[in-house]
């Protein structure tokens, strides 16, 4: 009895102080989307299209199945703003190995990145899908991979 009233008092106090209860403070767990890169050493992702609701919390987990060393055939995953010219983006990225192939001057177009991975490495990124519906391209920015087809699209729709 005493414990119950103590708990009730604490809950009331928390509410009075504007402290959110645990249930509302806990953010929703992100939805996990697994992508495999470089299966059978092909320069592509095994997922060319994915969908998300506007503002949805998403976790992309990228695994590199390619056998070649990172500096020879690394793979990353870069999600960019709607309307980005990905060929121009990839061309600019190719010269920026020191930045993990993220073009410094086009950083503002980047929504989410899983950094460059070597063989059998896994990386992840958690982000909020854009709130504006539309098609958001993603690509691998390792030199030449995008032009060979290592790209896809995130479709944001209600
Ligand atoms: Cu790649």
In a domain, 124, yes or no: yes
Hey, which residues does 126 pair with through a beta bridge? 59
pLDDT of residue 25: 63
* Domain ranges, residue 68: 28-156
Dist. CA 108 → ligand 1 center (Å): 21
Dist. CA 149 → ligand 1 center (Å): 9
pLDDT at 128 over 70: yes
76-123 pLDDT, tens digit each: 999 999 999 999 999 999 999 999 999 999 999 999 999 999 999 999
CB 54 within 8 A of CB 132: yes
Dist. CA 73 → ligand 1 center (Å): 7
pLDDT of residue 28: 79
Q: State the pLDDT confidence band at 4, using cuts at 50, 70 and 90.
A: low
pLDDT at 15 over 80: no
In a domain, 64, yes or no: yes
Hey, which residues does 76 pair with through a beta bridge? none
pLDDT at 2 over 90: no
| First-to-last C-alpha distance (Å) of the chain | 48
Dist. CA 76 → ligand 1 center (Å): 6
Q: What's the CATH number where 126 sits? A: 2.60.40.420
pLDDT of residue 101: 97
In a domain, 9, yes or no: no
In a domain, 137, yes or no: yes
> Mean pLDDT, the chain, as a whole number?
89
Dist. CA 119 → ligand 1 center (Å): 11
Q: What is the CA radius of gyration of the chain?
A: 21
In a domain, 5, yes or no: no
Task: Give CA–CA dist 134/81, Å, rounded.
Answer: 10
pLDDT of residue 23: 56
Say what percent of the chain tops pLDDT 70. 84
User: Based on the structure, what is the number of domains in the chain?
Assistant: 1
Those residues with Cβ within 8 angstroms of residue 40's Cβ, 6 or more apart along the chain or in another chain = 65
| Residue 41: strand, helix, or coil | helix
């Amino acid at each position: 009895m005493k414990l119950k009233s103590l708990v009730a008092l604490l809950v009331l106090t928390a509410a009075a102080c504007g402290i959110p209860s645990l249930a509302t403070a806990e953010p929703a767990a992100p939805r996990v989307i697994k992508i495999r890169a470089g299966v059978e050493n092909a320069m592509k992702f095994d997922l060319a299209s994915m969908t998300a609701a506007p503002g949805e919390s998403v976790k992309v987990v990228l695994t590199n199945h390619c056998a070649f060393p990172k500096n020879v055939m690394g793979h990353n995953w870069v999600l960019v703003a709607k309307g980005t010219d990905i060929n121009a983006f990839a061309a600019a990225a190719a010269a920026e190995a020191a930045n993990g192939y993220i073009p410094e001057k086009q950083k503002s177009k980047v929504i989410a990145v899983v950094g460059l991975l070597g063989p059998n490495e896994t990386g992840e990124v958690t982000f909020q899908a854009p709130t504006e519906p539309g098609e958001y391209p993603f690509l691998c920015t390792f030199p030449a991979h995008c032009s060979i087809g290592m790209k896809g699209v995130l479709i944001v729709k209600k």
